[in-house]
Structure formats: structure tokens, C-alpha cells
Amino acid sequence: MADVAGTVPEPVMGDPSPEGRFGRFGGRFIPETLVPACQELEKAFRSAWGDPEFRHEFSSLLADYAGRPSPVTEATRMSEALGYRVLLKREDLNHTGSHKINNVLGQALLAKRMGKTRLIAETGAGQHGVATATAAALFGMECIVYMGEVDIERQKLNVFRMNLLGAEVVPAMSGSRTLKDAVNEAMRDWVATVEDSYYCLGSAMGPHPYPWMVRTFHEIIGIEAREQCAALLDGGVPDVVTACVGGGSNAIGIFSGFADTDAELVGVEPAGGAAVGRRVPGVVHGSKSFLMQDEVGQVLEAESISAGLDYPGVGPEHAHLADIGRARYEPVTDDEVVEAFQFMSKLEGIIPALEPAHALAWMMKARDELAGKTVLLNLSGRGDKDVAQMQKLLSGE
């Protein structure tokens, strides 16, 4: 439909510009050596996404292998306790336990189409590494996962899982020895092996086309949720849609289903890694976005109870959504997250991953503001991987 000026209005979450920009964010800030790889990838993705056969194969994998659609569950007891209606989008029920499988199946399928035989990935909590190792096993590909040495220590079980799945886990020993260092190592590997390797990036970040491509593979979360909410809400949408934000992929996936409605979009960040909250623009890992940095532009270490959110930057589209006021971003502390983790476990019989427990922590804090509303929480993953860490913490070890 034409607006008054006679031009077609831009959709709130449309495609990025040809340079990969979302508003003033995104783009491709990479060394010369990586440019051809990103160009090849962009071309391959555009062609694949326009190919009905690729789309069909992707949809079939999501259904038959990942177990989609994931349901929307009415959280009755939490609703009662909080004083407003809570709906949960159950990405925790996907194969491998989180939303990450959507993106990984899409990228592995693309890698296969491009004739690559080796998948490279970085991982924080280990969930993206497990998902990538899973896809590599499914497609018979070699798999190398870079993981910060600190995270390897925090998430031993996931390291063992990746090994079981046939992947090699390589410790990233530089910097804070966490997720951002693993990304650097993975990029270094990719530059050297691009001929037969595919870099399977784990969130809606990095150089163009990654933020756009990763969002596209996660749009299924929003598409399903929109339909499922319409069935529950007489064709309506929730008042608020909320999700945790690390790099921003699960949030961008669910936001994409509601960006064109009047639902309020709320991303929740750990207080120790509040990249959007601080509103400082900068370049990290190949694109322009908001990130945690000091006065001289040095990237700060993010700190969070959850390895999956322990990242100093955020995907460029979130920076853009914050910039234009379409989404807002709220911080929560580790203590608030620990409380939310136990709250959902006790009241719903669902042990959440620590990441989505951030979004719930905000919902608990914002009770008064949310009174009487309907809130959709993207439950991005299950808490099995976090149980040992929580046991230690709660028993005071």
C-alpha cells in the first residue's frame, strides 16, 4: 500500500541494504582476505533462499529432525503469581535443546549446497557447538568448534557431547578466553581454509550476510508464534514479546513475527553485558553495532552467569531496532536470573536455560508495568546444561 508521499513504506524488519546495513548499523568490516568468502556466501544464500527446493528441504529438516513446530504453552501458575497472562514459546523442546538448531540446519544445508565439507563454529555455552556438531554428523561433515578455555571449564558436559558427535573442540586461549575470543579463532581458521570450509556463525551478528541470514533461518520462530498466538488470542497478538539477547538470534527470530504489529518488543541483556543498554556504537567481529567498550574504544569483557550471553556486542539489527525505538532493551542482574530460574522450575515444571531466565527475570521485575497484559516469552532453551552450575551455586560450594 502507498503512503501519503506515494512511496511504499519500508517494513520495520525488511532486508538490509545491498551493503548489509540495518539503518546505520551492520555492514562488512573485515580484512581484505575475508571479503571474497563473504561475497561468495552472500551470493549462495540469496540463490538458495530463492530456490523452492532448498526451502522445502529446510522446512522438512525443521519438522522431521528438529521437531518443529514448537508449541506455545500457557503458563498458568506463573500467570497467577505474576498477575498477568504468560505464554511461552517452547524453543526448549527442539532437538538439542534450544532455538540454535534452526540456524545450524539452514547453514549446514547451505554449506552442502556450496560443496563445503568442513564446518567451523565458535561456541560460548556450548549450545551452538553442539548444534553445529549435530548438523555435521547428520550431513557427514568434518566439524571444528572453537571454545574459550574458561567456557570449556564451565560447560564440560557440552564439550563431551560435541566429542560424542564427532567434533573436535579447540580451546581459545587469548583474551578473556570466552566467546569473543572463540569467534576470533574461528574467523582466523576460516580465512586459511575457505576453499573447503564453511563458517557456521552462531548468532545474528558478524559481517554481512550473517546477521540477515541467521535472522532469516530463525524467522520460523516468529511465524509460528504469530499463528499460535492468534489462535489463543482471538486473532490478536500479545501486548509484549520478550526474549533474552546475547548476539540476538532468538530475539530477532521471534521479534520478526511481530515487528509489524503494535506488540511491544523487549530484549533483555545481562547487566554485565548490556551492549544495547549502553548505546555505544562501534565495530566488533565484522559489523557496526552497539558494544561494550571503554573511552578509547577498547572492547570490554562481558560478564554474566550465563556463558551463552557472555558477549560484549549485539547483532546490528537490534542496534537498529533500539535506534528507531521499535524495541527496548532492559538489563537484569545475575541474582535476579537465579531467582527466575527457580521460579519457573517450581511453578511450571520447566527448567529453563539461564539465558531465557534473563527475560523472565525482567518480567518479574516489571510486574506492575505488565499487570493485566499478555506477555509472550521466548523460552529459547532448556536448563539441563545449567543444572550442575546452579547446584554448585545454590549449595554454596
Ligand X SMILES: *Cc1c(COP(=O)(O)O)cnc(C)c1O
Q: Which amino acid is at 124?
A: G
**Crossing angle for the helix pair 156-164 and 127-139, to the nearest 10 degrees:** 0
Of 186 and 194, CB closest to ligand X: 186
Q: Please state, as a whole number, how many other Cβ atoms lie within 10 Å of the Cβ of residue 334.
A: 18
- Looking at 106, 206, 209, 381, which residue binds ligand X (CB under 6 A)? 381
Catalytic residue among 42, 70, 98, 100: 100
Least separation, in Å, of the C-beta of 356 and ligand X? 6
Amino acid at 269: E
Q: Which stretch binds ligand X (CB under 6 A): 72-80, 241-249, 272-280, 336-344?
A: 241-249
- Of 75, 88, 105, 245, which one interacts with ligand X (CB under 6 A)? 245
Sole binder of ligand X in the list 273, 355, 366, 377 (CB under 6 A): 355
Closest-approach residue to ligand X (CB): 381
Q: Which is nearer to ligand X, 246 or 316 (CB)?
A: 246
256 binds ligand X (CB under 6 A): no
The answer to whether residue 339 is catalytic is no
Binding mask 114-153 for ligand X (x = CB under 6 A): -----------x-xx-------------------------
CB of 178 to ligand X, least distance (A): 13
Omega within 30 of 0 (cis) for the link into 69: yes
Residue 194 or 348: which CB sits closer to ligand X?
A: 348
Q: How many CB atoms lie within 10 A of CB 31?
A: 9
Size of the site for ligand X (CB under 6 A): 21
Alpha helices in the chain (DSSP H): 35-49, 52-64, 76-82, 100-113, 127-139, 149-154, 156-164, 179-193, 210-232, 249-255, 275-278, 316-323, 334-348, 354-365, 367-370, 387-394
Only segment of 107-115, 246-254, 287-295, 387-395 that touches ligand X (CB under 6 A): 246-254
Task: Select which of 122, 269, 336, 355 is catalytic.
Answer: 122
**380 an active-site residue?**
yes
Of 42 and 122, the one with the shorter C-beta distance to ligand X is 122
- Residue 296 DSSP SS3: coil
17 is catalytic: no
Q: Annotate 316-379 with DSSP letters as a single string.
A: HHHHHHHHTTSEEEEEE-HHHHHHHHHHHHHHHS--B-HHHHHHHHHHHHTHHHHTT-EEEEEE
Binding of ligand X by 244 (CB under 6 A): yes
DSSP-assigned letter for residue 290:
E
C-alpha cell at 82: 505474576
- The answer to whether 250 contacts ligand X (rule: CB under 6 A) is yes
Name residues contacting ligand X, limited to 291-350 (CB under 6 A): 308-309
Q: Which three cell numbers stand for residue 205?
A: 551478528
Q: Which residues are catalytic?
A: 100, 122, 380
Under the rule (CB under 6 A), what is the footprint of ligand X?
A: 98, 100, 125, 127-128, 203, 244-251, 308-309, 353, 355-356, 380-381
